[in-house]
Amino acid sequence: GLHRSTNGGRTWTRLAGNGLPRGTMGRVGVDWSRSDPNVIFAQIEVGADNEPVSQDAPEPQAARGGGGGGGGRGGAPAPPNPTVSGIWRSSDKGLTWTFVSNENQRPMYYSQIRIDPNNVDVVYVAGTNPAKSVDGGKTFTRLSGMGHDDNHAIWIDPMDSDHVMYGNDGGLDV
Protein backbone atom coordinates (compact mmCIF):
# COMPACT_ATOMS: atom_id res chain seq x y z
CA GLY A 1 0.00 0.00 0.00
CA LEU A 2 0.85 3.66 0.00
CA HIS A 3 0.91 5.67 3.24
CA ARG A 4 1.25 9.36 4.06
CA SER A 5 2.47 11.21 7.14
CA THR A 6 1.86 14.89 7.86
CA ASN A 7 3.71 14.99 11.18
CA GLY A 8 7.24 13.88 10.41
CA GLY A 9 6.44 10.17 10.51
CA ARG A 10 4.90 9.93 13.98
CA THR A 11 1.63 8.65 12.49
CA TRP A 12 0.73 7.33 9.06
CA THR A 13 -2.50 7.14 7.05
CA ARG A 14 -3.02 4.53 4.35
CA LEU A 15 -4.01 6.20 1.09
CA ALA A 16 -6.94 4.77 -0.87
CA GLY A 17 -9.33 6.09 -3.48
CA ASN A 18 -8.85 9.64 -4.73
CA GLY A 19 -7.57 8.29 -8.05
CA LEU A 20 -5.37 5.47 -6.74
CA PRO A 21 -5.92 1.95 -8.13
CA ARG A 22 -8.45 -0.29 -6.41
CA GLY A 23 -7.56 -3.61 -4.83
CA THR A 24 -4.26 -4.84 -3.48
CA MET A 25 -1.17 -2.81 -4.19
CA GLY A 26 2.04 -4.77 -4.48
CA ARG A 27 5.42 -3.11 -4.74
CA VAL A 28 5.28 0.69 -4.91
CA GLY A 29 8.14 2.92 -6.07
CA VAL A 30 7.78 6.58 -5.05
CA ASP A 31 9.59 9.83 -5.77
CA TRP A 32 8.73 13.48 -5.19
CA SER A 33 9.83 16.44 -7.23
CA ARG A 34 12.57 18.63 -5.79
CA SER A 35 11.59 21.44 -8.22
CA ASP A 36 7.90 21.27 -7.20
CA PRO A 37 7.41 19.49 -3.84
CA ASN A 38 3.65 19.24 -4.46
CA VAL A 39 4.30 16.64 -7.19
CA ILE A 40 4.75 12.95 -6.35
CA PHE A 41 5.00 10.03 -8.77
CA ALA A 42 4.19 6.46 -7.72
CA GLN A 43 4.94 3.38 -9.80
CA ILE A 44 2.42 0.85 -8.46
CA GLU A 45 2.02 -2.90 -8.91
CA VAL A 46 -1.74 -3.54 -8.97
CA GLY A 47 -3.01 -6.91 -7.75
CA ALA A 48 -5.43 -9.09 -9.70
CA ASP A 49 -8.14 -8.61 -7.04
CA ASN A 50 -9.08 -5.15 -8.31
CA GLU A 51 -12.73 -4.36 -8.84
CA PRO A 52 -14.30 -5.59 -12.08
CA VAL A 53 -13.70 -3.43 -15.14
CA SER A 54 -16.78 -1.77 -16.64
CA GLN A 55 -17.90 -2.88 -20.10
CA ASP A 56 -16.61 0.31 -21.77
CA ALA A 57 -13.16 0.23 -20.12
CA PRO A 58 -10.10 -1.28 -21.85
CA GLU A 59 -9.41 -4.91 -21.02
CA PRO A 60 -6.87 -5.57 -18.26
CA GLN A 61 -3.19 -5.84 -19.18
CA ALA A 62 -3.04 -9.58 -18.49
CA ALA A 63 -5.88 -10.20 -20.93
CA ARG A 64 -4.20 -8.27 -23.73
CA GLY A 65 -0.82 -9.91 -23.15
CA GLY A 66 1.07 -6.66 -22.94
CA GLY A 67 3.45 -5.14 -20.49
CA GLY A 68 4.67 -1.65 -19.79
CA GLY A 69 2.17 0.07 -22.08
CA GLY A 70 3.14 -1.69 -25.08
CA GLY A 71 2.00 -3.06 -28.38
CA GLY A 72 4.31 -5.70 -29.67
CA ARG A 73 4.72 -7.62 -32.88
CA GLY A 74 4.23 -4.39 -34.81
CA GLY A 75 0.84 -3.63 -33.27
CA ALA A 76 -0.26 -0.31 -31.91
CA PRO A 77 0.26 0.28 -28.18
CA ALA A 78 -2.68 -0.72 -26.04
CA PRO A 79 -4.63 2.18 -24.53
CA PRO A 80 -3.61 3.16 -20.99
CA ASN A 81 -5.41 1.04 -18.42
CA PRO A 82 -5.66 2.25 -14.78
CA THR A 83 -6.83 -1.18 -13.54
CA VAL A 84 -3.34 -2.69 -13.93
CA SER A 85 0.20 -1.78 -12.88
CA GLY A 86 1.54 1.61 -13.93
CA ILE A 87 2.35 5.16 -12.90
CA TRP A 88 0.20 7.61 -10.92
CA ARG A 89 0.92 11.29 -10.27
CA SER A 90 -0.20 13.59 -7.50
CA SER A 91 0.06 17.38 -7.80
CA ASP A 92 -1.19 18.07 -4.27
CA LYS A 93 1.26 16.19 -2.01
CA GLY A 94 -0.60 12.88 -2.29
CA LEU A 95 -4.16 13.98 -1.56
CA THR A 96 -5.44 13.07 -5.04
CA TRP A 97 -3.89 10.99 -7.84
CA THR A 98 -4.12 10.80 -11.62
CA PHE A 99 -3.28 7.71 -13.65
CA VAL A 100 -0.50 8.54 -16.14
CA SER A 101 0.63 5.36 -17.94
CA ASN A 102 1.13 1.59 -17.71
CA GLU A 103 4.94 1.86 -17.68
CA ASN A 104 5.97 -0.65 -15.01
CA GLN A 105 8.31 -3.43 -16.12
CA ARG A 106 8.21 -6.46 -13.83
CA PRO A 107 6.79 -4.44 -10.92
CA MET A 108 7.51 -7.09 -8.31
CA TYR A 109 11.22 -6.77 -9.19
CA TYR A 110 11.99 -3.18 -10.24
CA SER A 111 9.50 -0.33 -9.49
CA GLN A 112 12.21 2.32 -9.36
CA ILE A 113 11.06 5.76 -10.53
CA ARG A 114 12.97 9.04 -10.33
CA ILE A 115 12.00 12.62 -11.20
CA ASP A 116 14.63 14.97 -12.60
CA PRO A 117 15.39 17.36 -9.70
CA ASN A 118 15.27 20.32 -12.11
CA ASN A 119 12.29 19.42 -14.32
CA VAL A 120 9.10 17.83 -12.98
CA ASP A 121 8.17 16.49 -16.44
CA VAL A 122 11.35 14.43 -16.88
CA VAL A 123 10.92 10.99 -15.31
CA TYR A 124 13.23 7.94 -15.37
CA VAL A 125 12.32 4.30 -14.67
CA ALA A 126 14.48 1.22 -14.12
CA GLY A 127 13.98 -2.26 -15.47
CA THR A 128 15.35 -4.51 -18.17
CA ASN A 129 14.62 -1.63 -20.55
CA PRO A 130 15.42 1.55 -18.60
CA ALA A 131 13.47 4.48 -19.98
CA LYS A 132 13.01 8.25 -19.85
CA SER A 133 9.89 10.38 -20.20
CA VAL A 134 9.90 14.08 -21.04
CA ASP A 135 6.11 14.51 -20.81
CA GLY A 136 5.44 13.76 -17.16
CA GLY A 137 5.38 9.97 -17.50
CA LYS A 138 2.80 9.68 -20.28
CA THR A 139 5.24 8.22 -22.82
CA PHE A 140 8.71 6.71 -22.45
CA THR A 141 11.74 6.30 -24.70
CA ARG A 142 14.01 3.34 -24.02
CA LEU A 143 17.60 4.21 -23.07
CA SER A 144 20.22 2.31 -25.03
CA GLY A 145 23.87 1.53 -24.43
CA MET A 146 23.52 0.16 -20.91
CA GLY A 147 26.18 -2.30 -19.77
CA HIS A 148 23.63 -4.71 -18.30
CA ASP A 149 19.89 -5.19 -18.56
CA ASP A 150 18.89 -5.50 -14.87
CA ASN A 151 18.72 -1.85 -13.77
CA HIS A 152 17.60 -1.28 -10.19
CA ALA A 153 18.86 2.13 -9.04
CA ILE A 154 18.76 5.62 -10.57
CA TRP A 155 20.56 8.79 -9.50
CA ILE A 156 20.25 12.20 -11.19
CA ASP A 157 22.80 14.89 -10.35
CA PRO A 158 20.87 17.80 -8.79
CA MET A 159 23.39 20.26 -10.27
CA ASP A 160 23.44 18.74 -13.80
CA SER A 161 20.38 16.88 -15.12
CA ASP A 162 22.46 15.46 -17.99
CA HIS A 163 24.49 13.47 -15.43
CA VAL A 164 22.42 10.34 -14.72
CA MET A 165 23.63 7.06 -13.19
CA TYR A 166 21.93 3.67 -13.37
CA GLY A 167 22.98 0.93 -10.96
CA ASN A 168 22.54 -2.56 -12.35
CA ASP A 169 23.64 -6.16 -11.91
CA GLY A 170 26.71 -5.40 -14.05
CA GLY A 171 27.83 -2.33 -12.09
CA LEU A 172 27.14 1.32 -12.83
CA ASP A 173 26.27 3.09 -16.08
CA VAL A 174 26.81 6.86 -16.37
- Mean pLDDT, the chain, as a whole number? 84
Name the pLDDT band for 65 (thresholds 50, 70, 90): very low
Residue 107 to residue 86: CA distance in whole angstroms: 9
> How much is the pLDDT for 170?
87
The pLDDT of residue 91 is above 50: yes
CB 160 within 8 A of CB 143: no
> How much is the pLDDT for 50?
61
Residue 56 to residue 118: CA distance in whole angstroms: 39
Contacts of 124 (CB under 8 A, 6+ apart): 113, 114, 115, 116, 130, 131, 132, 133, 154, 156, 164
Determine the average pLDDT of the residues in 125-147.
92
The C-alpha torsion from 118 through 123 and 127 to 130, rounded to 10°, is -80
The pLDDT of residue 56 is above 60: no
- For residue 170, the SS3 value is coil
CB 86 within 8 A of CB 67: no
